[in-house]
Structure 1
Amino acid sequence: MLNNGVPGNGLLHGKTALIYGAGGSIGGAVARAFAAEGAFVYLAGRTESRLEKVARDIQESGGRAETAVVDALDEEQVDAFVDRVARKNKRIDISFNLISFGDIQQPLMDIDVNDFTQPITLATRTHFITTRAAATQMIKQRSGVVLMFGGSGPQTLPGLGGFKVALDAMEGLRRQWALELGKHGIRVVTMVSGGIVETIPWQTEGREEIIVEIAKAAHLNRTATLSDVGNVACFVASDKAGAITDATVNISAGAIVDY
């Protein structure tokens, strides 16, 4: 049921939201949260079966969702997807890109140059393509929200390869988009989590040690959850957060120090 069974009363009631990477754990959590708050969510990704599962969950809960197989690195596919949604719904209110970066994490002295640059190129390319496509529609309506996920910070860890550099590059891209789109009433915001334990595959080598490190870095007696991501994303995307742009919303429980 929408918003605890109160149709039309959700934070995102009447909003049209695009979610790239919606078949993943984080993308799916955000999609379910958006739909529960009244948004019509369009789930984009490369694996149809995963998208359909999320869509079924949303629809069975009384929400509205449609799926589309889209490669978020392909400019033509993204533009066509956004155009289709805009023609059907007359507007695009939210665009959230949650695709993975394909990073290979190794010490810089050991990593191949192509493996190092891959996440940097992928992250900046996909966020440029999806943001520009959404902005083309949002400029016409003089409003909209673009969300990014990952964020950055002054600290790093050894052995991350190009992953942290990709996050830093996304911060720069967010600042540029926020500056250029702000005059059109479009907000651009990054969410940073410091790590979501639920997203670490069970078969990951050293999983328990990773979990311990994530928890150790947090200032609270907990770490961020998928539910936290969905809840905060709903608020940031809503009109109640209308003054927030060109900013990082930190849900890391203190693990990431703002600067």
Structure 2
Amino acid sequence: MMLDGKRAVIYGGGGSIGGAVARAFAREGATVFLAGRTQEPLDRVAADIRAAGGRAETALVDALDERAVDAHADEIAAGGGIDVSLNVVAHGDVQGTPMAEMAVDDYLRPVETAVRTSFITWRAAARHMASDGGGTILVFGGDGDPMRGYSLGGLQTAFTALESMRRQLAMELGPQGVRVVTLRTGGVPESIPASFAGREAIERSITELTMLGRAATLEDVGNAAVFAASDWARTMTAATINVSCGALID
């Protein structure tokens, strides 16, 4: 198993991306700590993992609350350390409205949320990983070109901010053996709720931009995250893993 014995915390672990990564991590032997603000989706993911023979724990944690995040991270670390941290909480972005018609608060919300929650959760993990001599902080999203025919609001601005943070953090933590890696997907249609207005248009736009004629699946994201978190990727930091099917060109 690629992650046997590792301990991974996933903020937003009850969501589609977080749940997919959690299931993949557990399948490969990791103990998964699912954190989020709503118990029911966390319990569903945890139940799937346990039914498959994996190990999962849940906790109600607001990833925008630094005291709550620090306390939760301290508790996990006290039980055996933190090997992997991933933050995939929702950023509250407003999509489908052109920038020229948006309220400034709607545009800035995902930027402020992404920067704040990532800073808080990365810092909490980094402190323990650095003192333990290693670990992996995974970033999800990655910046890219604007989506043709659809308005993403502040989403890409948020991703670009995270990439800048990721580069700086990787440089600072490298000497302590901590790696920081981004998973870039170009969009995962499966993660878009069926009730989301414009879902078909977004899915079509994502797929049309790919070189392979198909978009990344949740399973693809989970498998890529397993590799990034494993010792097979021990030489990778300050880097991105592109699972966009060619929609994003490095």
- Give the shorter-chain TM-score range: over 0.9
Q: In the alignment, which residue of structure 2 is the partner of 1:208? A: 200
- The alpha carbon displacement at 1:100 in A equals 1.2
Does structure 1 residue 255 correspond to structure 2 residue 244?
Answer: no
> What's the Cα RMSD here?
1.0
Q: In the alignment, which residue of structure 1 is the partner of 2:175? A: 183
Does structure 1 residue 99 correspond to structure 2 residue 122?
Answer: no
Rounded to whole Å, the distance in 1 between the matches of 2:100 and 2:153 is: 9
Does structure 1 residue 36 correspond to structure 2 residue 27?
Answer: yes
Q: Secondary structure at the match of 2:58?
A: strand
Rounded to whole Å, the distance in 1 between the matches of 2:43 and 2:113 is: 25
Query: Where do residues 21-170 of structure 1 align in structure 2 (5 Å cutoff)?
Result: 21-89=12-80, 91-105=81-95, 106-153=97-144, 155-157=145-147, 159-170=151-162
Q: In the alignment, which residue of structure 2 is the partner of 1:243? A: 235
Rounded to whole Å, the distance in 2 between the matches of 1:213 and 1:117 is: 24
- The alpha carbon displacement at 1:204 in A equals 2.1
- The alpha carbon displacement at 1:122 in A equals 0.4
Does structure 1 residue 228 correspond to structure 2 residue 233?
Answer: no
Deviations 1:5-56 (A, max 9, x none): xxxxx10000010000000011000000000000000000011011011111
Rounded to whole Å, the distance in 1 between the matches of 2:171 and 2:68 is: 26
Q: In the alignment, which residue of structure 2 is the partner of 1:4? A: none
Deviations 1:150-186 (A, max 9, x none): 0012x21362221111111010000110010111000
Q: In the alignment, which residue of structure 1 is the partner of 2:10? A: 19
Q: How many residues align?
A: 247
Deviates more, 1:213-222 or 1:29-38: 213-222
Rounded to whole Å, the distance in 1 between the matches of 2:103 and 2:200 is: 28
Structure 2 length as normaliser, TM-score? 0.96
- Structure 1 segments, 4+ long, off by >4 Å, are none
Structure 1 regions of 5+ residues with no counterpart? 1-9
Deviations 1:131-165 (A, max 9, x none): 00001100111100000100012x21362221111
Q: Secondary structure at the match of 1:229?
A: helix
Structure 1 length as normaliser, TM-score? 0.93
